[in-house]
Structure 1
Amino acid sequence: MKSIETFVLGMVQVNTYLLWNDNHVLVIDPGSKSLRLQEAIDKRNGIVDGIVLTHAHFDHIAGVDTLVNKYHCPLYMNDLDIPLLTDPQLNFSIGDPIIVHTKAQVLTPGEHTIGKFTFRYIDAPGHSEGCSMLLWDDHLFCGDVLFQGSIGRTDLATSSNTKMMQSLKYIKTMDPDLKVYPGHGPRTTLKDEFQWNPYLQF
């Protein structure tokens, strides 16, 4: 049985998602080493098939090493954001510098299967060079590309307003019935964003 759990973690309230398929779980953007997150996995005797990052800013990666060390799971991400894992300036660390020691495996655009999960990984640069989205059935996990009524900022290291516009143009071609799970804030749908989000009015 498939299900999705959302945990709002860390100082900037990042959405960390647990994707469940029976007792197998895929973790998206672990924003901290949260005991609540670990307890949720352990309560269901979860087998962690992997961690997938939408991008590598500090608030989306802070829990990676803890989860990898506990569950012995691999880390997957776009190779263009790998340098951010070990550079606190590039990953925009606020407060204590965040450095991830886990070696990441590269996800390229297209369909992938990790454990019991088959999904499409989509390039969506702009907020960072390696920003990506994950499409699992009709669920779009878009990181900091798209929010309810807004988009991710483009004034950080490796950001690009031009590439963000290209990513938004691609999003405009996607199925409006998709459910959208952003990196921050409430869940939405593409249909609502096409209608109300001022950054998609073109």
Structure 2
Amino acid sequence: MRLFLFVKKMKKIERFVVSAYQTNCYVLYQDQEALIVDPGARAERMIASIDEKQASVSGIVLTHGHLDHIGAVDDLAAHYGCPVYISEADMPLLTNPRLNESAGGREIIIKTKPRAIPYGKASIGSFNVEFIDAPGHTAGCVMMLWDENLFAGDVLFKGSIGRTDLATGSNSQMVNTLNEIKKMSVDYQVFPGHGDATTLFEEFAHNPYLN
């Protein structure tokens, strides 16, 4: 399934729901450039859509290193020759099936050498974004702001939050991250790693972990 979720002038967000985990992969478009977020599987679907638009890919951003968010990285990076960004703390998950939760199944070992996410405001191609350190679900979870759109990975869901009992997860770190989210004063559109989009103020009002 793919959906266009946001259109503003020459900016657009396309969502792909992939794998048995129903992971949200997002492709952001700005003019003829694309930025891919959390490609968990089905690289061919994203390639077909991006190439249909004749867009160039500026990079791949990973909010964290779990199998359902990284499975299509190598195919996409090879096809587009683009850089892959992940937090330094989550880099070990890319090559360790036990840490990325793929051990015992189709083990995922990413061969593409990643770049460390630069926290704070950054530019990837023509995309001006801001990376927010948000550990808890994993030690290196990040969220990414693009305009007033918050790509939350598995930190914040509609009505819930990411689990903290997997490898490198931490309940105390998640509590700290949620406390930082509570300080946000902008009603961002929230695009989570699973499930429906929401807004930050909607979560302040109804998410039991934020009120």
TM-score normalized by structure 1? 0.97
Percent of residue pairs bearing the same amino acid type: 52
Q: State whether structure 2 residue 47 is matched by structure 1 residue 38.
A: yes
Aligned-pair RMSD on alpha carbons? 0.9
Secondary structure class of the residue paired with 2:92: helix
1:198 match: secondary structure: coil
**1:23: how far off?**
1.1
Is 1:121 matched up with 2:147? Answer: no
- The 2-side partners of 1:34 and 1:15 are apart by 13
Partner of 1:93: 102
Mapped to 1, the partners of 2:91 and 2:59 lie a distance apart of 16
Structure 1 portions without partners, runs of 5+:
none
**Residue identity opposite 1:38 in structure 2:** I
Shift of 1:175: 2.7
Mapping of 1:1-202 within 5 angstroms? Answer: 1-93=10-102, 95-201=105-211
Shift of 1:146: 0.3
Secondary structure, in 3 states, of the residue corresponding to 2:144? strand
* In 1: Cα distance, 2:86 partner to 2:49 partner: 23
| Letter matched to residue 15 of structure 1 | N
Cα distance in 2, alignment partners of residues 126 and 50 from structure 1: 25
Conserved? CA contact 2:61–2:86, under 8 Å: yes
Distance 2:92 2:196 in 1: 29
In structure 2, runs of 5+ residues without a counterpart are 1-9
User: Offset of 1:176 from its aligned partner?
Assistant: 4.2
**Contact persistence 1:7–1:16 (CA under 8 A):** yes
One-letter code aligned to 1:41: I
Aligned residues of 2:64 and 2:86 also touching (Cα < 8 A): yes
The Cα of 1:108 is off from its aligned counterpart by: 2.6
| Residue pair 2:84, 2:113 contacting (<8 A) in 1 also | yes
Q: Which runs of 4+ in 1 moved over 6 A?
A: none
Task: Report the 3-state secondary structure (helix = DSSP H, G, I; strand = E; otherwise coil) of the residue aligned with 1:164.
Answer: helix
Q: Is this contact kept in 1: 2:43–2:75, CA < 8 A? A: no
Partner of 2:7: none
Q: Does structure 1 retain, via aligned residues, the 8 Å contact 2:43–2:76?
A: no
| TM-score calculated relative to the size of structure 2 | 0.93
